[in-house]
Amino acid sequence: MSEIDMAVSKPEIMQPYIWLQTPDGAIQQVEQVIAMFCPFICQEVIQKGTGSSKNCAICLPQRVTPTILSLILDYCRFHQVPGRSNKERKSYDEKFMRMDTKQLCELTSAADSLQLKPLVDLTSRTLARVIEGKSPEEIRGIFNLPDDLTEEEKLEPLKNTTADPRIRLLNRLYAKKRKELKERERLKNVEVEEEHVDDRSVDDLLSFINGNDADPKEMKNSKNKKKNRRRKEQQMSSSLKEASELNNKEINGHNIRPQTDGANGVSEASQSNTEDSTFVPREFDDGDIDEEIDPALQEKLDREVEDFARILNSDWPERMQELLSLGQERKAMPFTSNGNSFLRRNA
């Protein structure tokens, strides 16, 4: 459309001035190029055709007072000029932001109502800087926020009251894995390593991977046998164990005190203790985490920990090998699907 056509069909676009009315009733005219920098004004002009004269001035939103409007127009006046370098704009913005917090808030509010996103971001950033590094009391003072939370509420911003066991599981595993790796490095030349070679069948692994939600108890029997074998092997390599409260129980070998009552619980709990020599527990006490989980869940977790660990054990050496050389091929993660479900909680 040529300029002349535009002038005929939409005369207001050709005019250099736009009329604006602030909430107090006052009307003023502003150069078009400057005012049109605000999307809100742009919309009003194009969609509703207002602003072309004093009689049909654009009504600005409630929060745009005359003082604030003049600030906003200053901003627009500077930034609508295309030839400015980034440096210039940045330095202007810095100077522009020198105002008290109260005015900052008003400006943010007004810019938001005019849909002037760059200015909203600028003021938000500045307000963020005001908040950063200050204590809650100071912030409440600056913004005059009511101190209306109970002491209890204040103490638990991030407490995960649902105690997601899987996440904790993952954390524990990685801690254990890390310890194991350290051990391995230390004992690189020791033949003992080979006794830890995993001799589980592929079927077991597959059934674990595929039957993620399958009842672990079904697989318990075959695993028990393997665990017994492992336990014997591990007792021979006592030098590997790091001292910990769980391991202390295990030194006697077969005389392990059950963590819980119940026949199944006994063997399961004892198995998990022996596994510790393969993946040594953390240095610091994670007993406090376990306290929150009831014993039945604890067994289940321990079982899952072992299973999980076995998966990791099987291909970890190869993984490490790959990781240490460049140009590695990316292997599919055996537990990727599990991983997503870990995080796809009810958040």
Partner 1 sequence: MEPEDDKSETSTTISTLPDSILCNILSFLPTRTSIATSVLSRRWRHLWKHLHVLNLDGYSFNTPELSRDHVEDRFVDFVNEVLQQVQVRRIQKFRLEGEVRNYSCTLSFWIDAVTSGPHLQELYLSLWNSSGSFYTLPYSVFSCTSLVSLILKGDIIVSFDNLQSLQLPSLKNLDLEIISTELDKLLSLCPALETLKVFIFFNSGGIDPNEIHVPRSLKRLTLESEACDSTVDHLEIHTPSLEYLDIALVACYSQISVRTYPNLVEACLNICFDDMHIDWMPKLLNAVCRTKFLALQASTTACLICVPSLEFPQFFCLVRLQIGFEFFNSRVLIDLLHCCCKLEALLIHACESVSYGCLYGEPVEPSSWTQPVSVPSCVVSHLNIIEFRDYEDLEEEHEFIAYVIERGLVLKTVTIHTRTFTDQEIKDHILKKLSVVPMGSSICQLKLD
- Nearest residue (CB) to partner 1, 166 versus 220: 166
Specify whether the CB–CB gap between 64 and 114 falls below 8 A. yes
Pair 7, 15: CB distance under 8 Å: no
- Angle of the 202-210 helix axis to the 216-236 helix axis, nearest 10: 140
Could you tell me how many residues make up the chain?
347
State the burial class of residue 269 (Cβ atoms within 10 Å of its Cβ: 0-12, 13-18, 19+): buried
Q: With binding defined as CB under 8 A, does residue 109 bind partner 1?
A: yes
- Between 8 and 131, whose beta carbon lies closer to partner 1? 131
Residue 18, SS3 per DSSP = strand
* Rounded Cα distance, 246 and 253, in Å: 12
Stretch that binds partner 1, among 201-209, 236-244, 295-303, 334-342 (CB under 8 A): 334-342
- Least Cβ distance, residue 326 to partner 1 (angstroms): 5
Task: Quote the CA–CA distance of 248 and 295 in Å, as a whole number.
Answer: 20
Integer Cα distance of 346 and 324 in angstroms: 38
**267 to 306: interface string for partner 1, x by CB under 8 A:** ---------------xxx----------------------
Terminus-to-terminus CA distance in the chain, angstroms? Answer: 51
d(C-alpha 168, C-alpha 340), whole Å: 15
**Contact flag: residue 186 with partner 1 (CB under 8 A):** no
Residue 167 contacts partner 1 per CB under 8 A: yes
**Minimal distance, residue 31 CB to partner 1, in Å:** 27
Is residue 250 a contact partner of residue 274, using CB atoms and an 8 Å limit? yes
DSSP 142-167: HHT----S-HHHHH-SS--TT--HHH
Check binding of 16 to partner 1 (CB under 8 A).
Answer: no
Q: At its nearest, how many Å lie between partner 1 and the CB of residue 96?
A: 17
The one-letter amino acid at 77: R
Show the 3-state SS of 251-270.
Answer: CCCCCCCCCCCCHHHHHHHH
Nearer to partner 1, 123 or 259 (CB): 123
102 forms part of the interface with partner 1 (CB under 8 A)? yes
Total binding residues for partner 1 by CB under 8 A?
58
Task: State the amino acid at position 203 in one-letter form.
Answer: D
Q: How far is the CB of 178 from partner 1 (least distance, A)?
A: 5
Residue of 6, 14, 33, 149 that binds partner 1 (CB under 8 A): 149
Collect all residues with Cβ–Cβ distance below 8 Å to 309 and sequence separation of at least 6. Answer: 173, 176, 177, 275, 278, 279
Q: Does 238 bind partner 1 (CB under 8 A)?
A: no
Cβ proximity to partner 1, 132 vs 191, nearer residue: 132
Assess 333 for contact with partner 1 (CB under 8 A).
Answer: yes
Residue 148 sits in the site that holds partner 1 (CB under 8 A): yes
Q: Does 24 bind partner 1 (CB under 8 A)?
A: no
Residue 57 or 122: the one with the smaller Cβ distance to partner 1 is 122
- Please identify which residue in 48, 84, 154, 217 interacts with partner 1, judged by CB under 8 A: 154
Output the smallest distance, CB 10 to partner 1, in A: 31
Binding residues vs partner 1 (CB under 8 A): 101-102, 105-106, 108-109, 112, 120-121, 124-125, 127-129, 131-132, 136, 139-140, 142-149, 153-154, 157-158, 160, 164, 167, 170-171, 174-175, 177-178, 282-284, 323, 326-330, 333, 336, 339-340, 342-345, 347
